[in-house]
Structure 1
Amino acid sequence: MRFSRLLPWIILVVCTGAGAALADWRPVTHEPWPAPEAPISHREQTLESSTGRTLRAHLVLFDSRRYRLAVLDLGPELAPTSAWLERLRAAGLLAAVNGGFFHADGQPLGLVIAEGRSLSRFETVKPLSGVLYDDGRGIHLERRARFQSRPGIDALIQSGPYLVERGQAVRGLSTQDVSRRTFIATDWRRHWILGATRDGLTLAELAEALATPGALAPWPVERALNLDGGSSTGFLFDPGEGRAPIELRARRPVRNLVGVRAR
């Protein structure tokens, strides 16, 4: 998503009233969740809301003790989704979603560290409220104001807004812009989910769905962060062993991917 498309979001956060009605979400998918100790796995989850909206999401669940986060730079030429699988396999990634925001010329918005190389500078613009990174010891998701650079960080994306914090949906998120969404969520122990929605919904709706027990995760979501969305929303899970990849194609090229690889 180009930076210019962030401007309506900034305006909506300021102007949206806190009294807007929020949806209650219930799962339509009734298959059991993978066991917490299971290896990396894919899940397609369907929810329905009390306001009549349907949410279908591709999810990849993984344990940070066994898997690392990676950021794969696709270059300023903005590689199309058709090139994702080849790039993903070459980098040893098992799954990926589109990553952070970028400018019209393809330059990343906010700090990005891909494969240990810093590609841009740290930003303090309001939408980039979170920092997602891997330092070799684990995966971290922090508020921008709390982040401190340190040696060993080889994968980092600055993005936002924060969707869930301390188990609660963040207040003040937009209730107006309906778009496909990409996100990362965690129980802040060792369990993580990378997700992308097939259907459009607002940021406030996504936050409420993530904070609803059992809706988009088998464990309570302690914190979650929005990644680039809209026409940039894409998802790829490679099950290997000759099986066809599971894919949600982005509608336009993107600058980088956030992915998962084995430790």
Structure 2
Amino acid sequence: MRTPIRQGQTGRVRRSWSPRQASSGLLLWALLLPATSALAAEWTPAGEPERQDISADLAYAKRTAVRPSDGKRITAHLAFFTSRAFRLEVIDLGADPEPAYPTLEAAFRAVGCVAGVNGGFFHPDWQPSGLVISKGRRINRFETAKLLSGVIYNDDRGIHLVRRGRFQDHKGINALLQTGPYLVEDGRPVRGLSASDPRRRTFIATDWRGHWVIGASMSSLTLAELGAILASPDAMTPWRVDRAINLDGGSSTGFYFDRSAGQAPVTLHPWKRVRNLLGICTR
């Protein structure tokens, strides 16, 4: 229904404000409150973040994000890299009681990776969940479990992160993990992420312009919080995250970064043995 207007002697148009419009205005204000609250809960860098040269092909950072609404702080180890200079490597540790390598550092050094994190999910008998490809060898099969909503893989064309339904299997894939859930898509947190069960988290994210980051949190947080942090400008990355996906976390969370000669590597050890690792190696 259109609001009636009256023409005054001055020639100005005056709108009459009806009770129905007042109610509509109150309703609109109520609807805007959740959006305002969501903006207030956006994560920001804790303090002044170190300036990072985004043109660098490889960089390590330890960053902390804070949520202004309650002061919660999340700290994570991050390895930034570019797809023009690096590729992914999936390291399979086997299903035997003793892993193929005793530590993350030993595994990544053995295959020439400069950095890496723990990989995908696995069952109590060490069998991986979903499809895994390591050095071109296929382990397990493609699965449709709700958790395994995405695929991160490497082929001759570069690094790819896609939804499970958009993945097209093909020759030439030398490293792949089926994992999930998706955390960020088109620059926004994915709806429906769990807001319970806080724990340490592992993830991989990209701006879809050749910049990538693998990370492991040192603090406990929910999947919903992780998605919000990664989608918040500058909270963890110097560039806008276009998409991100979760890897196995909790007691499996691990991180490794080989710093320059003469410096000890950055390591975060898992609390338990894992089935596979996701590393980055030079092309």
Please report the TM-score for the alignment, with normalisation by the length of structure 1: 0.89
Larger RCO (CA within 8 A; separation ≥ 6): 1
Contact 1:113 1:155 (C-alpha < 8 Å) held by counterparts: yes
Q: Which residue of 2 aligns with 1:95?
A: 115
Aligned: 1:53 with 2:67: no
> Offset of 1:52 from its aligned partner?
2.7
Residue 106 (structure 1) aligned with residue 126 (structure 2): yes
The 8 Å contact of residues 170 and 207 in structure 1, kept in 2 or not, is answered as: yes
- Correspondence list, 1:1-263, <5 A: 23-49=41-67, 50-77=69-96, 79=99, 83-263=103-283
What is the CA–CA distance in structure 2 between the aligned matches of 1:154 and 1:29, rounded to whole Å?
40
**Distance across 2 between alignment mates of 1:170 and 1:137:** 27
Aligned residues: 245
Write the letter of the residue equivalent to 2:202: T
Percent of aligned positions that are identical: 53
Moved more, 110-119 or 24-33: 24-33
Pairwise CA distance, 1:29? 4.6
Offset at residue 252 of structure 1 (A): 0.7
Measure the CA separation in 1 of the matches of 2:47 and 2:213.
17
Residue 24 of structure 1, CA deviation: 2.2
What is the CA distance between 1:243 and its match in structure 2?
1.7
Range that drifts further, 187-196 or 78-87: 78-87
- Provide the TM-score with structure 2 as the length reference: 0.83
Counterpart CA distance in 2 for 1:92 and 1:175 is 37
- When residues 24 and 173 of structure 1 are mapped into structure 2, their CA distance, relative to the original with a 3 A threshold, is same
Which ranges in structure 2 are unaligned for 5 or more consecutive residues? 1-33
Contact map agreement 1:175 1:203 (CA 8 A) in 2: yes
Mapped contact 2:91–2:277 kept (Cα < 8 A): yes
Q: Helix, strand or coil for the counterpart of 1:199?
A: coil
- Letter of the 2:135 partner, please give it: E
User: Counterparts of 2:129 and 2:152 in 1: how far apart (Å)?
Assistant: 14
Contact 2:104 2:269 in 1 (8 A): no
Distance 1:40 1:129 in 2: 28
The Cα shift of 1:33 comes to: 3.5
Q: Which amino acid aligns with 1:92?
A: G
| Bigger shift: residues 82-91 or 219-228 | 82-91
- Quote the offset at 1:256 in angstroms: 0.6
Q: Judge conservation of contact 1:76–1:105 (CA < 8 Å) in 2.
A: yes
- Change over 3 Å in CA distance of 1:80–1:115 after alignment to 2: closer
SS in 2 for 1:94: strand
**Contact 1:29 1:45 survives alignment (8 Å):** no
